[in-house]
Chains A and B, each alone.
Chain A
Amino acid sequence: MTFNEILQITLFFGIGIALTPVLGRFMARVFNGERTFLHPLLLPVERLVYRLTGVDPAEEMSSVRYLWSVAVMTTVGFASLMAILMTQKWLPLNTQGLDNLSWHLAFNTAWSFTCNADWQSYSGEAVMTYLSQTLGLSVHQFISGASGLAVLVAVGRALARASVKSIGNFWVDLTRCTLYIVVPLSVLWAIPLVWQGVPQTWKAYPTASLVEPYTTQVQKVDDKGNPVTTSVQKVDDKGKPVVGADGKTVMVDQPVMVDQRVETQPLPVGPVASFESCKQLFTNGGGWYGVNSAHPYENPTPLADFLEMLAIIVVPMAQVYMFGLLIGNRRHAWTLFAVMLGLYVLSFAVAWHYEAQPNPVVDNIMPNMEGKETRFGVMNSVLWGISCTAIDNGSVNSMHDSWMPLAGMMPMWNILIGEMLFGGIGCGVYCMLFHVLITVFIAGLMIGRTPEYLGKKLGAWEATWAVIGVLVPNAACLIPTAISVVLPAGVASMNNAGPHGLSEVLYAFGEAANNNGSAFAGLNANVPWYDVTLGIAIIIGRFAPIAAALAIVGRLASKKTVEASAGTLPVHGWTFGLTLAGVIIVVAALTFFPALCLGPLLEHGLMQAGRAF
């Protein structure tokens, strides 16, 4: 723990907190239709969008209609994106001569990007054309982020209303969010990233001649591109031929290796910066490159790293303040903010502590730089990994798969509790809302009063939907994990044996069901079983909370508001904050403790004993 490290951490959180009221107030003004400094420039564009799409901005929607609009918009986006990905070979801007995506990879990727999860079963620079990246994936990074925030705005608006059936217009919220918030911030972030070295060009990959060409051994392939193998006698450890039960010698396939001269290196450039800024700012996280922000082109310097990390937190932090303004209760918002920040910092402290411990399996060589980049070091790798999972971002600048067991458990924990330590754009706050309602319910039961939230009496309907919002994503994580570890197709994809293999699968379904998109990336997920099941988990994880949130607030908006009395439990202050934190931890621990025991906790113990698999 050096002075520089403490300074970076302090600045990171300090700037995020300082920007919260500024950006939060701006966002609230945008959604209320009030004038901002951007209106002289963008109001004509907003009107043009309404004209082109035939939207009447004065029209209001019921919560059911709002939900349908989000769902249909996402599904149309899915269909168009899948079409682009499966035909990219014939479309323009295919500078590298890339092939179309397989149906299962296109299915998985299209749902993943339209649902704001941005899980990737592929390496962008080797699979995606410039057109697929910018006109396909990037567009949905804008729209899916804006849709999530629109839902939160509808939730906030509905809670502030009384005795009405309507909660706003989805198309208006989507338009305002994209135009005034998503696009301007993306422009603001893209330019400094180019300055630091992120490419922004449409040219094909230049080919560099290596300074020191070399010869390497690679597996021979035949004319059709299939690897060539030869059959040889199997030998045991001592070099003796193995004889089978029938008395014959046992034969095994061995790859045929040939020399290959390596003289060139393709330099995978592209319009990366414009893609990168939106990916970081609106909790998308789907990288241009396979290794995401660990790639030196996607994240070239420590300053770029700091800016990209800041981009992860600013909007999710500000949305909490914006929510407070929309419901007219800033003290409640600051209490939620404090609970989120507290759990976030706590998970960072635990992960950083364990990541700085030696690993007996690799002879205690320190620091643990496997899967980390020199320019970031251990602290910035851990801070990023925790930030991108506390917040539903899912980008990475180190390989979480190679973290120490208990350090790697913390990103998993942040994901499994529902990603609401600021969380995703929109969904972070409405997932927290479920826990708030459960907390209010439990507290009300303890002292024998009718539970109230923001002046509305809560009944069985609200409690039921809050529990559905919490438990459905959890089930969508645990059930397919359990099936995968007993299916041969599931086990074959694991990159690591022992408890770490289970961690890889649990992480994958956890992130899918909570729309994160980061990974224990060793798992080879681009096979039909994982592409399809993870795609389905992503859909469930996206729409179960949205449906639950809109079901709750749709009912609450129609109720009368009652004045707070002496008997009302306040939803701000220490007592409420600590109770809420307790509820979050207990719910997640009850659900996931057995799985975590068999994965990272067991692995930690075995690692201490020096066991390797």
Chain B
Amino acid sequence: MIKLIIQAIRQTLVWTLITGVVYPIAITALAQTAFKQQANGSLVERDGKLVGSELLAQQFQGPTYFWPRPSAATYGTGASGLNASSGSNLGPTSAQLQTNVRTNAKALRDAHKLAADAPVPADLVYASASGLDPHISPESARFQVARVAAARAVPEDQVRALVERFVEPPQWGFLGEARVNVLLLNLALDAEGAKKS
């Protein structure tokens, strides 16, 4: 038995060295050489300042910006001591879910000056799985065009054209869903505004 335990300890040490030290260091070397931008977290800078990652959503709630999907994790900011990433984990018969969805739908209708029974895009009322979903559906982006254009006092067509430029089709034409990256769209919106003024 003692012999067996010593054997197991020697095995654990050898495999820790190979799979826990050599392997991740080798992958890091390859990754940092071939895909530096992605390996460091797909960081986005504006005027030399780090403003986020193109893969992680951040909160936008002012009328001049496109809004991301609801987050059950305060967009990973750690506010209120919540988890850095989380879905709501509310089941289909949860009263809390019902309240959240109705509150979100009402807020959307009010902000966009719509009737109390007007349809709203599903991804803007349901919280994402990670709380950090960087995308919204193209329908959700188009839904917000009129509000953003009015708040920025620019022609709707101009904002709509920008949105269409940011619609990513399914990858390779068939994988996944069409989507719009909210952070990149908002940064482009700011850049376009700065250019004009």
Contacts and interface: CB of A to CB of B under 8 A. Distances in A.
Task: Tell me the interface secondary structure of chain B in the complex.
Answer: mixed
A603 B93 CA distance: 7
Contacts of A486: none
Contacts of A521: 87, 89
Contacts of B197: none
A87 to B, nearest CB: 15
A375 interface: yes
Nearest to B173: A4
A190 B26 CA distance: 11
Given A191-B27, A211-B51, A290-B86, A266 B76 contact: yes
Given A365-B122, A612-B93, A268 B76 contact: yes
Interface string A259-282: 010101111110101110010000
Contacts of A41: none
Contact of A296 (B44, B55, B93): B55
B101 to A, nearest CB: 4
> Which one of B23, B39, B89, B126 has the highest number of Cβ atoms from chain A below 10 Å of its Cβ?
B89
Nearest to A55: B7
Nearest to B43: A206
A303 B171 contact: yes
A291 B42 contact: no
B158 interface: no
Interface string A162-199: 00000000010010001100110011001100111111
Interface string A600-613: 00010011000111
A140 to B, nearest CB: 9
Contact of A297 (B41, B75, B90): B41
Interface in A504-560: 504, 520-522
Contacts of B95: 497, 612-613
A495 interface: yes
A503 B56 CA distance: 31
Contacts of A54: 7, 10
A613 B90 CA distance: 11
Interface stretch (A99-107, A366-374, A444-452, A454-462): A366-374
A290 B97 CA distance: 21
A294 to B, nearest CB: 4
B14 A210 contact: no
A521 B142 CA distance: 33
A350 to B, nearest CB: 16
Interface stretch (A396-404, A471-479, A584-592): A396-404
A390 B94 CA distance: 27
Interface stretch (B149-157, B159-167, B179-187): B179-187
Nearest to B53: A267
B115 interface: no
Contacts of A404: 92
A199 B58 contact: no
A361 interface: yes
Interface string B116-154: 000010110111111111111100000000000000000
B122 A369 contact: yes
Nearest to B22: A183
A302 B176 contact: yes
Interface in B23-41: 23-24, 26-28, 30-32, 34-35, 38-41
Contacts of A138: 19-20, 24
Nearest to A81: B12
A402 B91 CA distance: 4
B24 A271 contact: yes
A611 B97 CA distance: 12
B18 interface: yes
Nearest to B78: A266
Nearest to B99: A612
A510 to B, nearest CB: 16
B50 A201 contact: no
Interface stretch (A71-79, A427-435, A572-580): A71-79
B122 A367 contact: yes
Interface stretch (A14-22, A214-222, A245-253, A413-421): A214-222
Contact of B58 (A211, A403, A495, A497): A211
Leading 7 A-B pairs by shortest Cβ distance: A302-B176, A522-B89, A500-B91, A294-B129, A399-B87, A200-B31, A302-B175
19 contacts: A49-B18, A52-B10, A53-B10, A77-B12, A125-B85, A194-B31, A206-B43, A208-B53, A209-B51, A212-B65, A218-B80, A268-B85, A300-B42, A302-B177, A366-B122, A371-B87, A397-B129, A405-B91, A498-B91
Given A53-B7, A214-B59, A369-B126, 10 more contacts: A52-B10, A197-B42, A200-B32, A208-B44, A212-B58, A262-B59, A274-B23, A371-B128, A374-B69, A380-B177
Interface of A: 4, 7-8, 49, 52-55, 68-69, 72-73, 75-77, 80, 123, 125-126, 134-136, 138-139, 142-143, 171, 174, 178-179, 182-183, 186-187, 190-191, 194-203, 206-212, 214, 216, 218-219, 221, 260, 262, 264-269, 271, 273-275, 278, 289-291, 294-297, 300-303, 305-306, 359, 361-363, 365-377, 380-381, 396-399, 401-405, 408, 495-500, 503-504, 520-522, 603, 606-607, 611-613
